[in-house]
Structures are given as structure tokens and as C-alpha cells.
């Protein structure tokens, strides 16, 4: 008695098996991509929510908030997030957006809001600028005058005088190598004295984020170079 042969030949049987394996592999790959897509989506939502929170905390305008998100997305798309602290990337994205939109936020303010050290912020900014082909525009002392004067409750004449001092210092090229916040703080301190609306060195230092020592050195330097008598 002969056994019945199975329908089809051996090759067809193996062919069906291979096709099944291929289908399973494709299904597995689709599932992996879906999981990855969901993970990426969640991480982006978390990052966006954090940028929204920090933007509100720092009171930065919509243009700067959107700029922060754009920089973060570029970092993600260029695979600069993997293996790095998301907090550092977010802090750097916000600071770079502030620089780009000339929003007067100091490194100290970004550090206090994000809890990321200023050295890490600077280092990450340099990395992003290099890898994304961006130019990190240097801050100008003029950008900080209005914000600092507002926080010190100084009137418009003081702000105007401080800007005049800074512009003259820039024209004479005596600000080279000096931090912009230190120059702004010094100009405001001098202007407040000249306008008879004095503020203590401690008050100016606390608001501007510079040390009292730096403030003393810079304001004396500015006054001497510009021939301003400060008593």
C-alpha cells in the first residue's frame, strides 16, 4: 500500500515556510517601527512641554519659544540627543534661541530656570552650533540694559544714559574681551549716579548676575576710559 504524497512538492512546502517567515519578519519590523515612533512622539511631547514650562518661567516671547523648539527638533533629527542629557540640550536650545532673537536672558537666568550649569550650557551650545551649522551670535551689552533697568526700577533717563555710555565704549573699542552683562551693569551703575538715582553695588550685582568685584572693576575702568567723574 502506497502512502499518499502531500500536495505540492518539497520546494513548495519550504517556499511557503520561507514566505511565512518573511511575513513574520515584516510584521515584527512594522511593530518595532510603531513602538519607536510612539517613543519618539512621547519624547518630543515631553520636550515640548518642558520648553513651554521654561518659556513661561523665563517670560520669553513666542518667537523665542518657537526658536527653542526648532533648534531642539534639529538636534533630534541630526541624532544629537542620543547619549546626551536632554536637559542640557533643552537649556542650550533656549539660550541659543534667546541669542538669535536678541532676548536679553543671561546665562545665570537660564541656569537658574533649567538647573543646568552654565559651563554645560556653553559647551552644549558650541556642540549644537558646530553640528547644526549655526552661528551663535555674541551678546551685546545694549541688549540687557532695558531688562536690568526695569528690574532695578530705574527710570528712562538712566536707561538712555547707560546706552550712551555703552555706545561710546563700543565706539572706542574698550569693551573687547569683557562680558556683556558686566559692561551693561557698569554702565547702568554709572548712569544711575549721574542721573541722581543711585543704586547700591550689591543691588546692581544681584540683578545683573555679576559679582560686586567685577562691577567695581568694570565701572571704574569705564569711567576712567571715558573721562566720566563718578563720586
d(CA 1, CA 209): 99
Residues 196, 207: contact at Cβ < 8 Å?
Answer: no
Instruction: Quickly count: other Cβ atoms within 10 Å of residue 194's Cβ.
Output: 19
- 140 phi, psi to nearest 5 deg: -110, 140
3-state secondary structure of 229: coil
What pLDDT does residue 13 have?
A: 47
Domains, the chain, with CATH or none? 10-132 (1.10.472.10), 142-226 (1.10.472.10)
What pLDDT does residue 169 have?
A: 93
Tens-digit pLDDT string for the chain (231 aa): 444 444 444 444 445 566 666 766 766 666 666 555 555 566 777 888 999 999 999 999 999 999 999 999 999 889 898 888 899 999 999 999 999 999 999 999 999 999 999 999 999 999 999 999 998 877 899 999 999 999 999 999 999 999 999 999 999 998 888 899 999 999 999 999 999 999 999 999 999 999 999 999 999 999 999 999 887
Which among 208, 154, 160 is positioned nearest to 186, based on CA atoms? 208
What pLDDT does residue 187 have?
A: 97
What pLDDT does residue 6 have?
A: 47
d(CA 41, CA 224): 57
Residues 193, 204: contact at Cβ < 8 Å?
Answer: no
All three cell numbers of 96: 541659543
What pLDDT does residue 84 have?
A: 87
Q: What is the DSSP string of 1-49?
A: -PPPPPSS-HHHHHHHHHHHHHHHHHHHHHHHHHHHHHHHHHHHHHHHH
Amino acid at each position: 500500500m502506497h502512502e499518499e504524497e502531500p500536495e505540492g512538492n518539497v520546494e513548495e512546502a519550504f517556499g511557503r515556510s520561507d514566505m511565512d517567515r518573511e511575513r513574520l519578519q515584516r510584521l515584527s519590523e512594522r511593530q518595532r517601527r510603531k513602538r519607536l515612533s510612539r517613543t519618539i512622539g512621547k519624547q518630543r511631547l515631553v520636550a515640548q512641554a518642558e520648553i513651554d514650562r521654561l518659556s513661561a518661567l523665563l517670560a520669553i516671547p513666542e518667537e523665542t519659544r518657537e526658536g527653542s523648539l526648532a533648534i531642539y527638533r534639529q538636534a533630534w533629527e541630526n541624532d544629537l540627543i542620543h547619549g546626551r542629557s536632554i536637559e542640557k540640550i533643552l537649556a542650550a536650545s533656549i539660550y541659543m534661541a534667546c541669542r538669535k532673537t536678541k532676548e536679553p536672558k543671561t546665562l545665570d537666568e537660564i541656569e537658574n530656570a533649567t538647573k543646568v550649569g552654565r559651563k554645560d550650557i556653553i559647551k552644549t551650545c558650541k556642540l549644537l552650533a558646530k553640528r547644526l551649522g549655526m552661528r551663535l551670535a555674541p551678546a551685546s551689552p545694549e541688549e540687557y540694559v532695558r531688562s536690568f533697568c526695569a528690574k532695578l526700577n530705574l527710570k528712562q533717563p538712566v536707561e538712555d544714559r547707560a546706552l550712551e555710555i555703552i555706545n561710546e565704549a563700543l565706539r572706542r573699542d574698550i569693551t573687547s574681551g569683557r562680558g556683556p552683562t558686566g559692561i551693561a551693569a557698569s554702565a547702568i551703575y554709572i548712569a544711575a549716579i549721574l542721573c541722581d538715582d543711585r543704586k547700591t553695588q550689591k543691588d546692581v550685582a544681584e540683578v545683573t548676575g555679576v559679582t560686586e568685584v567685577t562691577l567695581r572693576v568694570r565701572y571704574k575702568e569705564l569711567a576712567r576710559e571715558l573721562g566720566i567723574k563718578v563720586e
